[in-house]
Each structure stands twice: as structure tokens, then as C-alpha cells.
Structure 1
């Protein structure tokens, strides 16, 4: 890629930008950032050492236009950049369908929709990539390169993207609640708060890494630390009695239902 235009450089847009710069995928001199005002654009550009865009006209020559704004702002952004006939547009706006993106852009524009998550900011993200009807293989490969630099990625159908949005997109929110709850439990049984949070976070991080690196099913790994009649199974039993699995499953389903509602499905 040569010229990149990022429209909306908040938490996720900034994470993508900083990750791609750190990995050498993008060069600072080739990146332009546009925010809601000229002042905000200049401030954000200065923060990352890139250029500020005042009117989005860079979309005309950009190899990639990244839309990273709130869903309700997307129609305005599409209207703004359409006059410049962008060649490739990648959107991370939640609940904005490929159909909406393609209908709001010139007919020859290649479109890809992506659902990343916030751990991308520390290089451990999970991104779902859904190509539009006209997205070329080379554009898909570029999207894969961007998001593999920020963690893991998978090319999926748009419906699977929505489903992964409810699981991994919103998942960090669930994980933070679980970490906080485990830390509360640590405090309850006598641990200092700081130590309890560190232990809870590191334990979940380590367990997740074991799943990914060993390729073993979580049940198999659980059995390795669950002795018959032991302490771990006692803890799991107590949690299951309170509906731990059901609560997590209901939460993911509720998230998907809300996403569908926002998308008018």
C-alpha cells in the first residue's frame, strides 16, 4: 500500500494505525487522518506523526480508505468520499452492512467490512473480514495482512462476521467483567486488590494462550487441572450451579440480537 486515508482515528482506528506503523506495513509519510474537524484532524495527525486531511480528497488517490467512525456517521462519510471515486474502502463500523456500504459508494469501489476488537491495540486482536461482492483477492490479502499484524484474523461470510462480533468483537467486555469478578473473589478470600487483578488477568491470558498454542479442546485442558474429588472441580461445580455457562451463552446471543436490531434485520 502507498497512500492510506483513515476517517475516524479513535480507539480502534488508532490501534490499527499504530499497529501497522509498528509492523512496517504503512509509512507515516503515506498516511492521512481525517476527524470531525480540521483542528481535531491536525491534533490526531500530530499524535501519530502522519498527515492531516481537511476534506477527504485523498480518497481519490488512496490505495485504501479506512472508515472507523460510529455507525450513525457512516452515511455522511460515504457521501463525502463518493465524489472522489475511492477505489478501495474498508469499514470497521459495527452493524453497517456490506449492502449499505456498497450502495453508498460508486459502483466500482471494492468494499470490505471488518469486525476487529480492542486487544488489537496490544497486538492480540481477533478480526473477522467479510469481503464485498467486488472485493478483489489482492484487496482481501491486504486486509489479512493488516489485521494479522494486530493479532489473528479470519475471512468469513458477512453473517459469520456479525456472529463473531457478538463473540469476539464484544468479547473483551465480557472478559473484563470476568477478570473483575475473579479479582473480587480474590479480595473476598483475603488477597490484596492489585495482586488479585494481576493474578486473574494473567491466569485468563495464560489459559487462552494454552488453547491457541496447543490446539487442544478447552475440555481436555480443563480435565488436566481437574482432579477427581479435588478443589478445582468443586469450584467449577459451584459456578455451574449459578449458571455460568448459560449466562455467557445468553450474553453472546443478546449481543447478536441487538446487532441485528441495529442493522434492521
Structure 2
């Protein structure tokens, strides 16, 4: 009976939210990923945090589970950071008053795990702060492709921490590997799974919301993984949601027109 309980618990889904860092990676060259965003959720220094990435000067994309249900909490987005524990001259901080979670997001299965956060005022684009392009609608990255993920999450499963941006290379896995490991929780159309078969490299808690970057484009958003296994990790497939993203960005732009009602 105990064995059955342990086996069942191994397949519980857990997001990479809260805290979390890259496992088995390396420190990123400072400001080599100028699209990276750090989301602080709460008022305390040890508040939960997530990653994200800049799409436009007025919009950051992240994972819905990072902010879902947090209507009365302060959310701050910091751009231009490398060492998040310092006040670097390159940093730009924004208090977020408006965000849009995908209407079909599920906190149980992590389906449609995507959110757009509005920056107001708009970010100032610099060498340390710039946007990353989106892939075309339903343009799939092929299994076997090597992609990179970055974040400020835990560097081990025992909560080792670092203040600097870390990065790691992960291989996109086949549909068969993903479905065999994740069972019904993996939806190929709207998800990507990637990882290191040797279980030495992975995203982990706190890396949620960061981008899976392949060939210079944001292909995925760090979403979830199995509770006791770092392989594979699941990412929201950005290309599937490209029409929804474009429509919400259009609404963001309309909100900034003179005499337009604001939902902030």
C-alpha cells in the first residue's frame, strides 16, 4: 500500500512557481538575455517569484499560475536585471495594475498556462532591456532541437539559491516520451516538453514563466513538472497561443489611446 502511494505521488503535477532556479546550468553572461523579466509577487523580501519575458515595451508574458488568484497582492516586474539582489543601474521596475490570464486556464492541469502583464509606463528599450520575438502561429519546434531556458530559481531540489540569472540548455522531447511520462496531462497541441534524459539539468521552482528560447524566439513558457522527477519539464507552447497574444496586445494598445477607458 505504501509503495502504491509513493508511486501515485510521483505523478502529482507541481508548477515551477514560488521560488526556484535552474538546476545543472551556468551563470548567464550579464544582460545577454535582455528580454528577461523578474516577477516579485508580494511585499516581503522572501516573497514568491517567477520569470517572464518582454514582448513589447508595454507587455510581459509569463505563466498564469504565477498570478492566478492573487488579485489583492502587489506584483512588481523588474527588467534589465542580472543580480536581482542588487539595485543595478540597468534595472527598470514596474508595479503591475493590470494583467490578463487566458480564459481557459486550469490550475489543476496547467492547461492554457499563460498570462500577459501590462507595463505602465512603457519600458525604455536599452542594451539591457529589449524584446524577444514570437514564433508564427502553430509553428512547431522539432523534437531533438536544443533550446535554452533562463531564470532565478533554485539551483537544486534542496532549495539552494542564487541571486544571478542562470541558464541551461534543454532538448525538446518527442510526443511519445512526453505522453508516456506525463500521461493524460500532456497536450501536444498547446504544450512542449523538454529536458535532459540524464536528470542533471532542468528548470525548477521559481523559473516558472520564463521563456524556452529556440533559434532566437520564445517558443515556450516554463509551466510544470512531476513532483519527484526533474525530467521532463512542460512548457506552454507559445505558437499555439499566438493569435490570443496578438489580440490582447491590440487591446493593450487601445487602452493607451487618448480618451480611451482604462481597465487598470
Q: TM-score, normalised by structure 2?
A: 0.24
Structure having greater relative contact order (Cα 8 Å, sep ≥ 6): 2
More strand by share: 2
- TM-score relative to the length of structure 1: 0.24
Larger radius of gyration: 1
